[in-house]
A and B are shown apart, each in its own frame.
Chain A
Amino acid sequence: MPARDYIRERFFPHMWCPGCGHGIVLNALLRAVEALGLDKKNFVMVSGIGCSARISGYVDFHSMHTLHGRALAFATGIKISKPELNVIVPMGDGDAMAIGGNHFIHAARRNIEMTAIVMNNRIYGMTGGQFSPLSGYGTMGTTAPYGNIDHGFNTVDLASSAGATFVARTTTYHARELADFIGQAISHPGFSVLEVLSQCPTQFGRRNKAGDAPEMLESYRTGTARIDSKKKRENPDLIERGIFVQKELPEYCREYERIISKARGE
């Protein structure tokens, strides 16, 4: 597999549970990077803490494993000092939307060029199944043994209104679409957000009677539809997949350069 050139094989088999969607995200990401034909030395992956965040240990790019919720802040520092790097920031749903919610909206608002991948398993996987801001009303978690009464964020709506200039959603079932969207998100010259529905059979699946990994993947097939598809029109409750926002606005690093030149009287 050509993707093997982009991983640190010495750390395999990886630490994720059998059937964990995060492995499929890694699989697609490697293919996306390979298809872009860029040198792996041009990539830096910055992650926080969580099962999702462990992805940065497996890629043979520059990598940083930082603090829970703070990956975007570290990534911003890296991008500002080395704008020529492609910065990829994989995050968990808790990581991105709970503790890291503020970093998330402000990075989107600034339109700094990087790729935020929200690996949404609707649960705190690593710490044992606490509900997250993406769990959704009525789901079960260790901290919601009688059912969650918090309503979930819609990642796509939140990212779009916060100002992200590329916003997309897909699932681990849709592996080819996933690799395609990751590639497009990386190529986009601004802040890109890709939400990936990624199954956690261990902490979410078991507690919510969602079945094993194949069953959870089946639910991504039946429970989602492409934007503006016949399937979506026939069943408006389905979760939409596709690219929701793709526009160009001044990018933060280039704006920053411009301000420096201006201040220098250049």
Chain B
Amino acid sequence: MKNSETKTAAREHHIERAWCKGCGICVHFCPKQVHKLDEEGKACAVRPEDCIGCRLCELRCPDLAIEVIDRQAADRQGKDHE
């Protein structure tokens, strides 16, 4: 079941475009394929409603360009995934 029109995103992804160098780490490792590189080669959250709040994109961003903002207080902590 995936319908981005009807689901409201519980989290927002703030991406500092001027800092992002488009390495693709966030795109590659997001367990829910939330991110994509846009036409300028910058990270962009295209499916924020699918975000599970693991924050791995934020933690692994070498450019310190991503912040996952939780709209709800609850924050499920993800693991490093062995």
B67 touches A1 (CB 8 A): yes
B64 touches A19 (CB 8 A): no
Residues of B contacting A213 with CB < 8 Å?
23-25, 62
Q: Hey, what's the 0/1 contact readout for A1-40 against B, CB within 8 Å counting as 1?
A: 1011001000011101111111110111011000000000
Residues of A contacting B22 with CB < 8 Å?
18
In the complex, what residue of chain B is closest to A28 when comparing beta carbons? B59
Can you give 28 contacting A-B residue pairs, CB < 8 Å?
Answer: A1-B67, A12-B16, A12-B64, A13-B19, A13-B21, A18-B23, A18-B62, A19-B21, A19-B23, A23-B61, A24-B60, A24-B61, A24-B62, A27-B59, A27-B61, A27-B62, A174-B80, A175-B56, A175-B59, A177-B80, A179-B59, A201-B23, A212-B23, A213-B23, A214-B27, A217-B25, A217-B29, A221-B81
B59 touches A1 (CB 8 A): no
Q: Hey, what's the 0/1 contact readout for B18-49 against A, CB within 8 Å counting as 1?
A: 11111111011100000000000000000000
Please tell me the number of chain A residues within 8 Å of chain B, measured between CB atoms: 35
* A214 touches which of B18, B21, B28, B59 (Cβ 8 Å): B28
Interface residues of B (CB under 8 A from A): 16, 18-25, 27-29, 56, 58-64, 67, 79-82
* A231 touches which of B20, B28, B82 (Cβ 8 Å): B82
Residues of B contacting A28 with CB < 8 Å?
59
> Closest 8 interchain pairs by CB?
A23-B62, A19-B23, A214-B28, A18-B21, A175-B59, A18-B23, A1-B67, A13-B19
A221 touches B21 (CB 8 A): no
Q: Is A176 an interface residue (CB 8 A)?
A: yes
A16 touches B62 (CB 8 A): yes
B42 to chain A, nearest CB (A): 11
Within the assembled complex, what's the spacing in Å between the Cα atoms of A221 and B28?
Answer: 13
Known A-B contacts A12-B64, A23-B61, A23-B63; A214 and B24 likewise in contact (beta carbons under 8 Å): yes
Q: Hey, what's the 0/1 contact readout for A207-234 against B, CB within 8 Å counting as 1?
A: 0000011100100010000000001000
Residues of B contacting A1 with CB < 8 Å?
58, 64, 67
A221 touches B82 (CB 8 A): yes
Of A3, A12, A26, A28, most buried by chain B (CB within 10 Å of CB) is A12
A214 touches B25 (CB 8 A): yes
A214 touches B29 (CB 8 A): yes
Within the assembled complex, what's the spacing in Å between the Cα atoms of A176 and B23?
Answer: 20
In the complex, what residue of chain B is closest to A175 when comparing beta carbons? B59
B62 touches A22 (CB 8 A): yes
B79 touches A212 (CB 8 A): no
Residues of chain A in range 32-52 having any CB-CB distance to chain B below 8 Å:
none
